[in-house]
Amino acid sequence: EELKLSKRAGTIVSLEELVDLIGVDALRYTLARYPADSPLTLDVAEMTKQASDNPVFYVQYAHARLASILRNAGDLGMAPQSHPQLLTHEREGDLLRALAEFPRIVASAAQLREPHRIARYLEDTASSFHKFYDACRVLPMGDEEATATHFARLQLVAATKVVFANGLDLLGVSAPERM
Note whether residue 146 is domain-resident.
Answer: yes
- pTM exceeds 0.95 for this model: no
17-75: pLDDT as tens digits:
777 777 888 888 988 888 888 876 767 767 777 778 889 999 999 999 999 999 999 99
**Is the domain of 129 the same as that of 78?**
yes
Note whether residue 82 is domain-resident.
Answer: yes
Q: How many domains does one find in the chain? A: 2
Q: How far apart, in whole angstroms, are the C-alpha atoms of residue 43 and residue 85?
A: 45
Note whether residue 177 is domain-resident.
Answer: no
106-165: pLDDT as tens digits:
999 999 999 999 999 999 999 999 999 999 999 999 899 999 999 999 999 999 999 999
**Is the domain of 59 the same as that of 131?**
yes
**Is the domain of 29 the same as that of 54?**
no
Residue 21: which of 13, 33, 32 has the closest Cα?
A: 13
Note whether residue 178 is domain-resident.
Answer: no
**Is the domain of 24 the same as that of 60?**
no
Note whether residue 111 is domain-resident.
Answer: yes
**Is the domain of 24 the same as that of 93?**
no
**Is the domain of 97 the same as that of 126?**
yes
Note whether residue 179 is domain-resident.
Answer: no
Give the pLDDT confidence score for residue 4 in this predicted structure.
Answer: 57
Domain region containing 149: 50-170
**Is the domain of 41 the same as that of 58?**
no
**Is the domain of 34 the same as that of 119?**
no
Contacts of 98 (CB under 8 A, 6+ apart): 124, 125, 128
Residue 2 dihedral angles phi and psi, to the nearest 5°: -90, 140
For residue 32, what is the enclosing H or E element?
A: helix 24-32
Note whether residue 23 is domain-resident.
Answer: yes
Q: How far apart, in whole angstroms, are the C-alpha atoms of residue 87 and residue 93?
A: 7
**Is the domain of 24 the same as that of 64?**
no
Using alpha carbons, list the distances in angstroms from residue 97 to 82, 92, 124, 142, 159: 16, 9, 12, 31, 12
**Is the domain of 61 the same as that of 75?**
yes
